Amino acid sequence: MVRMIDVAKHADVSLKTVSRVLNNEPHVQEKIRKRVFESINELGYIPSTSARSLRSLRTYSIHLISNSIEGAFINTVQSGALLSCQKHGYSLLISLLDSEILNNPKALKKWCAEFVVQKRPDGVILVPPHSDNIDLNSILNEANIPISRIGPNEIIDKDNSTIMIDDRKAAREVTEYLISLGHKRIGHVRGSEDQGATHKRYSGYTDALKAASIPIIEELIKPGNFRFESGLKAGEELLKMKNRPTAIFAANDDMAAGIIVASYMNHFKVPDELSVIGFDDNELAKRIWPTLSTIQQPVFGYGERAAELLVKKAGTRKKQTSLVISATELMNYKFILRESTNIASTANN
């Protein structure tokens, strides 16, 4: 493990100079500061926040790390986190970490080193797929940075908070509802494969089919990426099948909206000839026609609670005390029934 003294030797400066650079103290020559940062990046040094002065520990900032600033889910999480931060006098900052870096261990360690040194966050909120990335979680843990993880596939560590709903149970519930309407050929459009929710929702879908003794037909299951375009593509493929599905469960609302558009492009009426269910209950679910039956998860509450836990943790660090925020919080969801579902037609069932 690279130490501060290794950085000092590499940059040919004193240990005190490295400390002054890390704490962003004044009166350090710019060329020296630049040389220290170059050594930090080259060596992949990630400073532990616990090793710095109490004054420098607290920046009154929470960082949300995401691979995008687009999409209803991330925007709503941000809104919840921002409200919570403002309530406690904190700033919410967004840091973008794309999938190419996330999946490259060397590049990821370099990115994290720069992030920790330059941003000095009091805490980090990780959303999918980042909340599922073991390397990222491990690096931030080594740097002693508290983490709130939203919707991960599994509990990676026991030292930080995890906030989620029971995706598998919710997916089983909506699939069981479609079965209760008489549907037997039920399609499913998966989300991004690097996100835990994708696998949990698929498992819930298959749980319901197995319980009802309905065979799992691979051709009724299509890949997606949680975006509208992937739902449109999957919907077209499913509806052009000779023995098409009478209902489709999409792993989120954006893809479900794409399926509804695909159905009308192919002259199928929703819900009379095709029932569609989504997941999330974002604004699109209420605005598209017919309005979308879906699972309502507390996305705003995810962000709000994640930030609140980190603010509490930051407050105890100033007093050199420890607050355990390692609880896994299972939040409530609701099945919202709207106009996009109906009793199965017998033609293709």
Over residues 10-41, the pLDDT tens digits come to 999 998 898 888 776 767 888 998 899 888 88
pLDDT of residue 153: 72
- Just give the CATH number of 1-45: 1.10.260.40
What tokens does 151 get?
């919707």
CA atoms within 13 A on the CB side of 220: 22
Domain(s) of CATH 3.40.50.2300: residues in the chain = 53-165+302-318, 167-296
Q: How confident is the model at residue 222 (pLDDT cuts 50, 70, 90)?
A: very high
Q: Is the pLDDT of residue 244 over 80?
A: yes
The superfamily (CATH) of domain 167-296 is Response regulator (3.40.50.2300)
Greater model confidence, 114 or 176: 176
Distance CA 254, CA 345 (A): 25
pLDDT of residue 55: 43
Q: Is the pLDDT of residue 270 over 90?
A: yes
Distance CA 321, CA 170 (A): 38
pTM for the predicted model, two decimal places: 0.79
Percent of the residues in the chain that have a pLDDT greater than 90, as a whole number: 58
Percent of the residues in the chain that have a pLDDT greater than 70, as a whole number: 90
Q: How confident is the model at residue 158 (pLDDT cuts 50, 70, 90)?
A: low
- Specify the residue for token string 């994708």: 198
324 φψ region: left (φ > 0), alpha (ψ -120 to 50), beta (else) = beta
Distance CA 269, CA 347 (A): 14
CA distances from 21 to 36, 166, 184, 333 (A): 7, 45, 64, 47
> In this structure, are residues 42 and 83 in contact, taking their beta carbons and an 8 Å threshold?
no
Q: Is the pLDDT of residue 70 over 60?
A: yes
User: What stretch of H or E contains 237?
Assistant: helix 228-239
Q: Over the Cα atoms of the chain, what is R_g? A: 24
Mean pLDDT over residues 61-85, rounded?
91
CA distances from 254 to 60, 103, 126, 132, 278 (A): 35, 25, 21, 22, 8
Q: Is the pLDDT of residue 126 over 70?
A: yes
pLDDT, averaged across the chain: 88
DSSP string, 199-212: HHHHHHHHHHHHHT
Greater model confidence, 18 or 48: 18
What tokens does 295 get?
């699972």
Residue 102 CB partners (closer than 8 Å, separation 6+):
67, 108, 129, 130, 133, 136
Domain(s) of CATH 1.10.260.40: residues in the chain = 1-45
Q: Per CATH, is 53-165+302-318 categorized as 3.40.50.2300?
A: yes
